[in-house]
Structure 1
């Protein structure tokens, strides 16, 4: 009877070890859950960036206003008939 108890205790210890510490156990599951949450956060920020870039591409493809704005800001473009004033601080 004593050996049956020892075998059962050994089995319980083995199963508990497998459950908590071995590969695929609770510890790995918690680590993977943290990695998934971190990756979801990265994916969300990348999705927002992609949506902003897609809106800019759509705006550039559909209208001349965006192209004119970029030309004005980056290249100093002035349309015919417009007057350009430059204010210089002294």
Structure 2
């Protein structure tokens, strides 16, 4: 009876070791769960960015307002008959 108890205790200790520290144990499970959570957050952020890009593409394809805005900002486009005023602020004076 004593030998059977020792064998069962050794088996239990071995199984516990494999559960906590062995390959595919709880430590790896928690690490994988954290990786999945981090990836879900990254995917959500990228999905929001993609939705913004798709809205911008749709706006560029359908309306001329976005194209005109880009041309004004990036290329300095001025329509015929418009007057362009550029206001320059004086540079900040150094503290004395």
- TM-score tier (shorter): over 0.9
User: Paired residues, what number?
Assistant: 90
Q: 1:83 aligns to what?
A: 83
Give the helix-richer structure, 1 or 2: 1
TM-score (norm 2): 0.87
CA positional deviation for 1:58: 0.6
Give the C-alpha shift of residue 42 in structure 1: 1.1
Does residue 59 (structure 1) correspond to residue 59 (structure 2)? The answer is yes
Give the Cα separation in 2 of the matches to 1:43 and 1:89: 43
Q: Runs of 5+ in structure 1 lacking a partner?
A: none
1:73 matches 2:73: yes
Q: TM-score, normalised by structure 1?
A: 0.92
TM superposition outliers: structure 1 runs of 4+ over 6 Å:
none
CA distance in 1, matches of 2:64, 2:33: 47
